[in-house]
Amino acid sequence: MTATTDGGPGTPTHRTPSASSASEPEPVPAGDTEAAAQRAVQRAADHLLARQHPDGWWKGDLETNVTMDAEDLLLREFLGIRDEQVTAASARWIRSQQREDGAWPTFHGGPGDLSATIEAYVALRLAGDDPAEAHMALAAKWSRGEGGVAASRVFTRIWLALFGWWDWDDLPEMPPEVIFLPKWMPLNIYSFGCWARQTIVPLTVVGAHRPVHPAPFGIDELHLDPGRPNPKQRRKSITSWDGVFQRLDQVLHAYRRFSPRMVRRSAMNACARWIIERQEADGCWGGIQPPAVYSVMALHLLGYDLDHPVVKAGLDSLDRFAVWPEDGVRMIEACQSPVWDTCLATIALADAGIGADHPALVKAADWMLGEQITRPGDWSVQRPRLAPGGWAFEFHNDNYPDVDDTAEVVLALRRIDHPDRARLDSAIDKAVRWNVGMQSRNGAWGAFDADNTSPFPNRLPFCDFGEVIDPPSADVTAHVVEMLAALGLEHDGHTRRGIDWLLGEQEDSGAWFGRWGVNYIYGTGSAVPALAAAGLGPDHPAIRRAVDWLHQVQNADGGWGEDLRSYSDQEWAGRGHSTASQTAWALMALLAAGERDTASVERGVRWLTDTQLEDGSWDEPYFTGTGFPRDFSINYHLYRMVFPLTALGRYARAEPFGAGHPAAPSGGSAVTAPSTGASGSGMSSTSTTIPSTGKGA
C-alpha cells in the first residue's frame, strides 16, 4: 500500500520565495550550467528517440485514478464477463494506490476522495477482499466519516444503483428525450462539452431502463445508517439557480411516470443511432474510456447482444485501455494520447537541435500527416460551413479533433524538412484554416467546440462529475496564437483578437489560469511564449508581471511546482513540490521573456540537470495534467521527458521560441488565414493595437 499524505497549503515546507524573487535578478556566469544543459539535452534526446514506435509515434502512459479500474470491473460484472485474472491484476493496482488513512486520492499526494474510495472498495469486494481485512475496514471507516454513500457523487451512485445498492428514484433524472432538443434550446446535447455529451447520451438510455443486476454482496458498512441509506436532499430556495434546477429535476421525475411509450421508444432509438454513428474505427467512442463503457452498456440494454459487431468492437476497444506497469498489475487509462505526445516529442527533439531532416522527425511527420481528420464531426454543429483539417488527441477519434492538438501539430510540422513539402504545406494550410474558423465570438478558443459557454449544463443535479462545458481557455488560446505567430500571421486580425483576450484574462498576480494543465504555471508557461512570439516585448507590462510572478513562486531548490489543489484554493497557486514538467513550463516562459541570463533561469536549469536520471529521463510521480479542474487529474508519463527537453534545448541553443522561429524551415508554407470565420460569424481580419495593460483594462 502506497503511503500518501495531504497537508495544508504550507506543505511543501521546502518552498520559500527565493532570492531571485526580485523583478530584475542579477546575471550569473553561465558556463558550467550551459555545459550541464548540453549534456542533459543529449541524454534526454537519445532516450526519447529510443522510445519512438517503428510507425513514427510516441505515447506515454496516461495515469488518472482508480475509478477507471473500478468501473471497468463493475462493467464486466454487470455484463457477466468478469474473469478472475483481470480482476486480480486490477485489484493489485487499486490496492497499491490506497493511502495510509484508508482512502483513495484522485492524484498523487492528494487528499482522499469519497467517490473514488467507495468505487475502489466495491471493486476490491468483487476481487474477494474481506470487509474485515485491515485495509478494507479502514476504507469503510473513512468513507462513513465523510458522509458515506449518500454524500458521494451522482455517477458513483449510478454504478451502485446498477447492483441494487442505491435506489434509482434517488438519482437525478436525465431523460433520453433530450436527444430531440434543437440546438437553439438550452440543455440540448450540443450545449454540453463533447466528452460530456458522449457520456450523457448513453446514460439517458441506462437511466430510462433502470437495470438492477443482482448484487453479489451488501455494502451496509459504507452507509452512515444502513436502515436509511438514502436521505432526502434538502429543498433549496426557488430564488436560487440550484433551487430552480432541483425543481426541474422533480418535473423530470414526474415526466418519467407519464411519458408516452412511443415517444420514449423513439427517443431511445434516436440515442442508439447517435451512439452507433459516433463509434470510431477501433470500436471506441471519442477515444476515451467512460463513453465507451456507457455506450456498450446502453446498447446492450437496448437489445444488442455481446456478440453483436458494434458491442463486440466496443468491448475489444476497452481492453486496449489496459496497460501493465509491472507483471501481474493492470491499470486502465482513461484515454490515450499518441498525437499529443508525438507532436510534443517532435517539438522537443527539434528544439534540442536534432536535424530538421532527421529520419525520426520525418517518420513522425508522416504518421501525423496520416492522422489529419478530413471529415466533419460534432464541431460542425456550430461551424457548419467550416472545412475540416484538425487533429485529435488519440489514435482513432475522427468525430472530435481539438484545437489544442491541431495548433501543436502545426508547430511540430513546420519544424520538419519533409521530402513531400507540398503535402506538408497543404496539411498545415487546412489545419490553420480550421483552427481559425473555430475561434469563439469573444476572440478566444476552446478545445473541441466554438462558443460552448452555456451556463446551464453545469447546474444540472445530474452533472456533478466535473466540467461539462468547453469554454475558451488561456492555454488553448495561447497555443493558437503561438501557431499563428510562428507562421508569420501575428498581425492577422484573428491573432490580435486572441492576444486581446489573453491580456484581458491575466490574473492580478500576473499569472494565467491553466485549464488543461496544472495550473497557473501551465497557463503562464503557455501564454508568455505565445505573446512574446506575437510581438510583445520583454518590457511589456503583461510580460513583466508574469515574469515577476514566476520569480516569486520559484521553489528554494530551484525548480517550480504547483499542486492540483490550486484549482480550489488560491493558497496553492504556484506552490507545490518541484516537478520536471512544471519547471520546464516556467523556464519556457522566462526564456521567451528574455530572462535567459538571470539567476532564476540558471537555478531552474540546474534543477533539471541535477535531477535527470541515468537513462536521460526524469522521475515525476506528481500529476501535472488536467482533465476537469478540481475533479479529474492526469499524470502524462511523457510530460516528464518532452517539456524538460524542450526547455533545456531552447536554453542550450539560445533559441527562446524554439527551432526556426519566426520563419518556417526552408521552403516553408505560405499560409493565409481566412478573413472571416467559416461559420459566418463576421470575425474581422483588420489589425488592432496591442493594449499595454492586463486584466481589468
Q: How far, in Å, CA of 130 to CA of 94, rounded?
A: 15
Which triple of cell numbers denotes residue 186? Answer: 438550452
- 3 state DSSP class of 457: helix
Average pLDDT, the chain: 89
Q: Measured at the alpha carbon of residue 143, what is the angle toward residues 139 and 145, in degrees to the nearest 5? A: 120
Q: Which residues are catalytic?
A: 404
Domain membership flag for residue 671: no
Of 272, 299, 332, the domain-final residue: 332
Phi and psi at 279, nearest 5°, equal: -70, 135
Cα torsion for 549, 552, 555, 559, to the nearest 10°? 40
Query: How many domains are contained in the chain?
Result: 2
Higher pLDDT, 479 or 2: 479
Q: How far, in Å, CA of 72 to CA of 276, rounded?
A: 21
Domain membership flag for residue 357: yes
Tell me: do 312 and 354 sit in the same domain: no
Taking residue 365's Cβ as centre, other Cβ atoms within 10 Å add up to 26
Q: How far, in Å, CA of 442 to CA of 459, rounded?
A: 23
Exposed, middle or buried: residue 537 (CB in 10 Å: 0-12, 13-18, 19+)? exposed
Taking residue 85's Cβ as centre, other Cβ atoms within 10 Å add up to 9
Higher pLDDT, 235 or 507: 507
Q: How far, in Å, CA of 164 to CA of 420, rounded?
A: 60
Pairing verdict, β 632-636 and 322-326: unpaired
Tell me: do 375 and 512 sit in the same domain: yes
Tell me: do 55 and 139 sit in the same domain: no
Reported as a pLDDT band with limits 50, 70 and 90, residue 518 is very high
Reported as a pLDDT band with limits 50, 70 and 90, residue 129 is very high
Domain membership flag for residue 677: no
Phi and psi at 633, nearest 5°, equal: -120, 155
The pLDDT, as a whole number, for residue 232 is 65
Tell me: do 81 and 169 sit in the same domain: yes
Give mean pLDDT, residues 244-268.
81
- Contact assessment for residue 389 and residue 434, using Cβ atoms and an 8 Å cutoff: yes
Question: Does residue 520 carry a pLDDT above 70?
Answer: yes
Q: How far, in Å, CA of 626 to CA of 476, rounded?
A: 13
Phi and psi at 528, nearest 5°, equal: -65, -50
Tell me: do 267 and 361 sit in the same domain: no
Q: How far, in Å, CA of 95 to CA of 120, rounded?
A: 8
Q: Which residue has the cell 521527458?
A: 641
Question: Which distant-in-sequence residues (6+ apart) come within 8 Å of 422 by Cβ?
Answer: none
Tell me: do 477 and 616 sit in the same domain: yes
- 3 state DSSP class of 62: strand
Percent of the chain scored above 70 by pLDDT?
Answer: 88
Tell me: do 305 and 378 sit in the same domain: no
Provide DSSP, 620-660: --S--EEEETTTEEEEETTHHHHHHHHHHHHHHHT-TT-TT
Tell me: do 515 and 630 sit in the same domain: yes
Question: Which distant-in-sequence residues (6+ apart) come within 8 Å of 221 by Cβ?
Answer: 131, 140, 144
Q: How far, in Å, CA of 233 to CA of 582, rounded?
A: 41
Give mean pLDDT, residues 245-261.
76
Domain region containing 161? 63-332
Tell me: do 605 and 642 sit in the same domain: yes
pLDDT, tens only, 313-349: 999 999 999 999 888 999 999 999 999 999 999 999 9
Of 302, 332, 362, the domain-final residue: 332
pLDDT, tens only, 445-462: 999 999 999 988 887 877
List b or e across 204-238, with b for residues whose CB sees 16 or more CB atoms inside 10 angstroms.
bbbbbbeeeeeeeeebebbbbeeeebeeeeeeeee
Of 277, 300, 332, the domain-final residue: 332
pLDDT, tens only, 155-172: 999 999 999 999 999 999
The pLDDT, as a whole number, for residue 246 is 65
Domain membership flag for residue 674: no
The pLDDT, as a whole number, for residue 542 is 98
End-to-end CA distance of the chain: 51
Q: Which residue has the cell 458515506?
A: 148
Q: How far, in Å, CA of 179 to CA of 188, rounded?
A: 7
Which triple of cell numbers denotes residue 327? Answer: 507483471
Give mean pLDDT, residues 210-222.
95
Which triple of cell numbers denotes residue 152? Answer: 458521494
Phi and psi at 276, nearest 5°, equal: -65, -40
Domain membership flag for residue 94: yes
Taking residue 577's Cβ as centre, other Cβ atoms within 10 Å add up to 21
Domain membership flag for residue 309: yes
Nearest CA-CA partner of 400 in 350, 449, 348, 467 = 449
The pLDDT, as a whole number, for residue 249 is 63
pLDDT, tens only, 654-667: 999 988 776 333 33
Reported as a pLDDT band with limits 50, 70 and 90, residue 545 is very high
- Contact assessment for residue 530 and residue 482, using Cβ atoms and an 8 Å cutoff: yes
Reported as a pLDDT band with limits 50, 70 and 90, residue 138 is very high
- CATH code for position 173: 1.50.10.20
Q: How far, in Å, CA of 123 to CA of 445, rounded?
A: 39
The pLDDT, as a whole number, for residue 241 is 65
pLDDT, tens only, 59-95: 999 999 999 999 999 999 999 999 999 999 999 999 9
Tell me: do 515 and 636 sit in the same domain: yes
Tell me: do 435 and 509 sit in the same domain: yes
Residue type, 226: P
Which triple of cell numbers denotes residue 585? Answer: 513550463
Question: Does residue 310 carry a pLDDT above 90?
Answer: yes
The pLDDT, as a whole number, for residue 245 is 64
Alpha carbon of residue 286 to chain centroid: 14
Percent of the chain scored above 90 by pLDDT?
Answer: 80
- Contact assessment for residue 497 and residue 688, using Cβ atoms and an 8 Å cutoff: yes
Tell me: do 444 and 585 sit in the same domain: yes
Helix spans in 259-337 (H):
261-277, 289-301, 309-319
- 3 state DSSP class of 440: coil
Which triple of cell numbers denotes residue 51? Answer: 522510445
Question: Which distant-in-sequence residues (6+ apart) come within 8 Å of 488 by Cβ?
Answer: 662, 663, 664, 671
Q: What's the residue count for the chain? A: 697
DSSP annotation of 325 reads E
The pLDDT, as a whole number, for residue 675 is 37
Give mean pLDDT, residues 235-263.
74
Q: How far, in Å, CA of 450 to CA of 480, rounded?
A: 14
Higher pLDDT, 175 or 228: 175
- Contact assessment for residue 436 and residue 126, using Cβ atoms and an 8 Å cutoff: no
The pLDDT, as a whole number, for residue 649 is 97
Domain membership flag for residue 679: no
Helix or strand (DSSP H, E) at 86: helix 84-96
Give mean pLDDT, residues 547-556.
98
pLDDT, tens only, 577-617: 999 999 999 999 999 999 999 999 999 999 999 999 999 99
Domain membership flag for residue 668: no
Helix or strand (DSSP H, E) at 431: helix 421-437
Give mean pLDDT, residues 268-273.
96
Handedness of CA 172, 177, 180, 181 (dihedral sign): negative
Give mean pLDDT, residues 121-136.
98
